[in-house]
Structure 1
Amino acid sequence: MYWSKIAATDEEFDAIAALNYETFVEEIPQHEPNPSRRLIDKFHDENVYVVVYKNTEMVGMVAFRDTRPFSIDRKIGNVENYLDAEVCEYLCEIRLLAVKKNHRNGRVFTKLATAIYRYFYDAGYTACVISGTVREEKMYTQMGFRQFASAVGTEEARYLPMVLTRQDSAVFRERLREQNMVFFPGPAALEKPLTPSTISHRSVKFQQELEQMKGELCKLAKANYVIPLVGTGTLANDAMLGQLKSEFPDEAGLVLVNGEFGDRLYNQAKQWGLHIEKIDVGWGKPIDIAQIEAYLKKGSYRYIVFVHGETSNSTLNPLNELGELAEKFDVKLCADCISSFGSMPFSMQALHYATAVSGKSLGTIAGLAFIFCKDQPVSSDAPLYLNLPYYMEKEIPFTLQHYFVEAVSDALKLYPERFAVLENRMEAIKNSRLDVTATYPMIATWEHPKMAEILTICALNGFLLHGDSAYLKERNIAQISTIQPTFDKDFKRLQELLTYVMETL
């Protein structure tokens, strides 16, 4: 397997010096020979080296440097004299592009080119310049480089000043984007493109399809009613909390927190002015039913709000036990089921209200939010767009695109079989060499002290794990979701990459 990473170890820097000598002393007579057969670049401490491996052997490299003056500046003068001002806003120089002789094939050069596109673009450079050897002019041109000044150097080592801009690399980067292997917990990639529709949300046909979709949603959730809204899960939670504010304006409730989204739910409740008390059991810790019962015994609480599937740490919270507790103390139980709904079978019968979305475990287009209800809400002081009784009364009070309904209806046809698909995918993650935490089939959490480096390597090779959120970065955590349509083949390739990556860290 050919793969790329940013060089970070002494062993890698020694291999770079050896390849540097082999290429720029023995092959291209640019430097004098020496007994060590190592050539350390004069800008070594300023370089970022992207290297290519074949399994565990380093076979290619390229160096990036953004400290002025560039080596090319010394040959032709400042490159700004030749290039447009907008191209020169944030420049880097590419140097030391080299590949071992017995690995000079299309796959290695493709991997190097891919690394160049991803690294220089993700680092925010407006362009990169290079002194390209004339013998590889065709290769550089195919990569998107263009010559911007006359050739320099000696007859034995002649170079072309060339530049690669963000604009000139756009076509290549778009191809790379399409080839990315994504493990995000949403939005889900679509297996077929959306078909534009002019069917009006006021038409009889639309109303019939909407009612059928709602019926299938309620069947899957084992709920009595569902209200679809155009928006995100955060909107759904705001609508749910706004309804609680109308039903219990001066009465107290509890919010249970053991992760990022439980905390967000608490903050949303406070913004609504709910009289709510937070029970924070700690990041990823199980909710203690006895502790909740003690609170209910000593206080006068009318409702409990919690996150069923806490995405931030892959924790599944105890819906059934909390439902029994709510019934015992006659309190309303409400849940954020945004990540759990569609990932596994469960009943919402114990829930007063619950929220979900289309773009998570259901595996379809993001953009629809759902509020499931045990009983029809009858009054609300919430703004009209979040007013649940208004939705019940008007059925389709606001514009709802037909393709949303069609996409969700198509996704629901895959159930109940999709439950087994997601479960099998999660078993594959658990049975891999990764030390993950996973308590429900939608998402696994992986902690590693060098996670930032692992994520960079994965991204450089087109594997996009979920790890950019601040709450994940500060805990050295990345996440792998099972919901994407190409998970099975993509995860096999990810495992192959990580087999070699973990040996080099």
Structure 2
Amino acid sequence: MYWCKIAHTEAEFEEIARLNYETFVEEIPQHQPNSARKKMDRFHHENTYIVVYKELELIGMLAFRDQRPFSIDEKIGKVEQYLSKEISTKLCEIRLLAVKKAYRTGRVLLKLTQALTAFAYEKGYSAAVISGTTREEKLYKQMGFTQFAPATGTEDALFLPMVLTRQQFETSLQQRLAKECHTFYPGPVKQNEPFNYSELSHRSLGFQSLFEQMRNKLLQLSGAEHVATIVGTGTLANEVMLGQLKAQQLGHGLILINGEFGERLRRQAERWSLDFDVVEEDWGSTFAINILESYLQKGSYQWLLVVHGETSTGTCNDLKGILQLTKRYDTKLCVDCISSFGAMPFTLEDCYLATAVSGKAIGALSGLAFVFSQNIVKSSTTLPAYLDLANYQQGAIPFTLPAVLVANVETALQAYPERYGQLQQRFNTLLQLPFMHYQVSTRQYPMLITLQLPKALANLQSDLKLNGLYVHADSQYLRRRNFIQLAVIQPDFELAIERLHNILSYYKQVEDA
């Protein structure tokens, strides 16, 4: 198995020096021999080395550098004189491309190309230049490079100035490399099937039938009496829920916060000028029912708002226990189920309001938001029409609903209830991966796992990206805490998890060496 990472250990730098010597001293007589049979590059401390392994053997490398002058500038003058202004906007240089002779195959080149583009493309470089030996011209062309200036060097070590532009990558390589990529994001969910009904009007009888099928399945899974379907995100669904609390003038409330999305509810509630108190716990901690009861005993709370599945840590708050408590104290329970709905079976039959979306655990395309309720509400002239829940409860479809989204959700819902078992099984598989001892200790649910990595593993996310494996780690609240997350909701999970397990196993051995 071939896989890539950024070199950072002394053992890796030793291997790089040996491969550098074998390639650019013994094979290509570019430098003088030495008894140590190692060659340290003169830009070593400015280089970022991307290395490729065959299991535990370092078999190839390239060096990335964006500081001027480039080594190729020293050979032919500033490269901008040969390149268009558009290409020259933001340049980087690739050097020391070397692969052990026994491994010079298309598969190894594809891995290096994938790693290089994952590393450099998202940084916005307009092009990468390389001084490639004529002996491996075919290799460079396979990676997408083209010659842009006359050859330079000696007869024994002749080099071609070559460039890989952003446009060349996007038109020729991106699609091929995309087939090698898998995500562990908690949304959006990759869609493998073609979309249907893009031409169907939301005013047609055909659409009405499709919509009713989706609606009935949502009600069946939720246990709610009513569901409003809105074009938008989970944030919008929460706005509709909070807008109802405002329009109905329900009075004093309580918001429970133990993660980023509880914080989001507080910020939204403040914008609605709701009257509320807050119970806060550390991220990953759950709420003690006896402490919540002490709040409800002391205060007169008409409503309580909580996130069920707190995505920021993978914490599952005790919906059943909180619901029993709010029923006892005649408090209306409102729940953000955006991350948890579809991940596991639970009922919303006694919840006053609850929210969910299409593009999370359900596995459908992002774009539809759902607000579940137990009662028909009265229309409010104080709310914007699009946020008035009553508009969605009158039987008619008040605003445009794309049939393609409705059909996509209806198809995804056909996987239930069997999907619950599939997600649980996938979750159990995640627990067997290396590095799972870095899990955030919390009450989990079968949607995602959160790891808090030590500084020694700070490069793990970027190294996985080099191999086409994307974990959830770019949000600011995750970066601040060194969190990375792996979700189980993507359709190609079984293929992706096998690759991830193998790479993590080798990665751990390399890091521990």
Matches within 5 A, 1:234-245: 234-245=235-246
| Residue 157 in structure 1 maps to residue 157 in structure 2 | yes
Code of the aligned partner of 2:202: H
Q: What amino acid is aligned across from residue 335 of structure 1 in structure 2? A: V
**1:118·1:173 contact (CA, 8 Å) conserved in 2?**
no
**Is structure 2 residue 337 aligned with structure 1 residue 337?**
yes
CA–CA distance in 1 between the matches of 2:210 and 2:47? 59
Q: Indicate the residue corresponding to 1:145 in structure 2.
A: 145
SS in 2 for 1:419: helix
Does structure 1 residue 291 correspond to structure 2 residue 291?
A: yes
Retained in 2: the 8 A contact 1:465–1:478? yes
Corresponding residue for 1:305? 305
What is the CA distance between 1:197 and its match in structure 2?
A: 2.7
Is 1:24 aligned with 2:29? no
Instruction: Classify the secondary structure of the residue corresponding to 1:226.
Output: strand
User: Is residue 196–residue 407 contact of structure 2 (8 Å, CA) maintained in 1?
Assistant: no
For 1:226 and 1:418, locate their aligned partners in 2 and report how far apart those are by CA, in whole Å: 21
> Aligned in 2, Cα 1:213/1:347: closer, same or farther, shift over 3 Å?
same
Check whether the contact 2:233–2:367 (CA below 8 A) recurs between aligned residues: yes
TM-score, normalization by structure 1: 0.97
Correspondence for 2:478 among 454, 469, 472: 472
Q: Which amino acid aligns with 1:242?
A: G
Which is further off, 136-145 or 287-296?
136-145
Superposition deviation, residue 5 in structure 1:
0.8
SS class of match (1:330): coil
Could you list the per-position Cα deviations for residues 173-231 of structure 1 after superposition, in whole angstroms to 9, with x for gaps in the alignment?
Answer: 23222331111001111120212432211122222321222111101111111000000
Aligned pair 1:254/2:254, yes or no? yes
Contact 2:191/2:491 (8 A) holds in 1: yes
Separation of aligned partners in 2, 1:288 and 1:337: 20
2:39 is the alignment partner of 1:34:
no
Distance of 2:105 and 2:204 partners within structure 1: 59
Secondary structure of 1:168 counterpart? helix
Between 294-303 and 373-382, report the one with greater CA deviation.
Answer: 373-382
Residue 86 of structure 1 is matched in structure 2 by 86
> Does residue 505 of structure 2 align to residue 504 of structure 1?
no
Letter in 2 for 1:256: L
Q: 1:134 corresponds to which residue? A: 134
Q: How does 1:64-463 map to 2 (within 5 A)?
A: 64-170=64-170, 171-248=172-249, 251-380=251-380, 381-393=382-394, 395-433=396-434, 434-435=436-437, 436-437=439-440, 439-450=444-455, 451-463=457-469
* CA drift at 1:446: 1.5
Give 1:123 deviation, angstroms. Answer: 2.7
Q: Is the 8 A contact 1:184 1:465 kept in 2?
A: yes
1:188–1:359 Cα contact (<8 Å) kept: yes
- From 488, 491, 497, the counterpart of 1:485: 491
CA distance in 2: counterparts of 1:53 and 1:259, whole angstroms: 38
**1:344 Cα deviation (Å)?**
0.7
Give the C-alpha shift of residue 114 in structure 1: 1.9
Q: Deviations over 1:33-62 (max 9, x none)?
A: 111111111111111111111111111010
C-alpha contact 2:427 2:488 (8 A) present in aligned 1: yes
User: Partner residue of 2:59?
Assistant: 59
Q: CA deviation at 1:120?
A: 2.1
What is the rounded CA distance, in whole Å, between the counterparts of 1:321 and 1:119 in structure 2?
A: 46
SS of equivalent residue, structure 2 residue 83: coil
- The ranges of structure 1 where at least 4 consecutive aligned residues each deviate by more than 3 angstroms after the TM superposition are none
Contact 2:232–2:369 at 8 Å: present in 1 too?
yes
Instruction: Write out aligned runs for 1:8-23 (5 A).
Output: 8-23=8-23
Offset, 1:394 = 5.6
Q: Is the 8 A contact 1:452 1:473 kept in 2?
A: no
How far residue 116 of structure 1 moved from its aligned partner, in angstroms, is: 2.2
Higher mean C-alpha displacement, 166-175 vs 271-280: 166-175
Residues paired across the two proteins, number: 504
CA drift at 1:349: 1.3
Change (3 A) 1:394 1:225: closer
Identity of aligned residues (%): 50
**SS of 2:283 mapped into structure 1:** coil
Q: Distance in 1 between matches of 2:208 and 2:114?
A: 48
Q: Which amino acid in 2 is paired with 1:477?
A: F
* Distance across 2 between alignment mates of 1:126 and 1:203: 48
1:324-379 Cα shifts (integer Å, max 9, x gaps): 11111111000000111111111101200000011111101111100000111123
1:152–1:480 CA distance, 2 compared to 1 (3 A):
same
1:432, distance to aligned residue in structure 2 (A): 2.9
Q: Is the Cα–Cα contact under 8 Å of residues 367 and 404 in structure 1 kept in the other structure?
A: yes
SS at the partner of 1:284? coil
CA RMSD, aligned part only? 1.3
Counterpart Cα distance in 1 of 2:113 and 2:284: 41
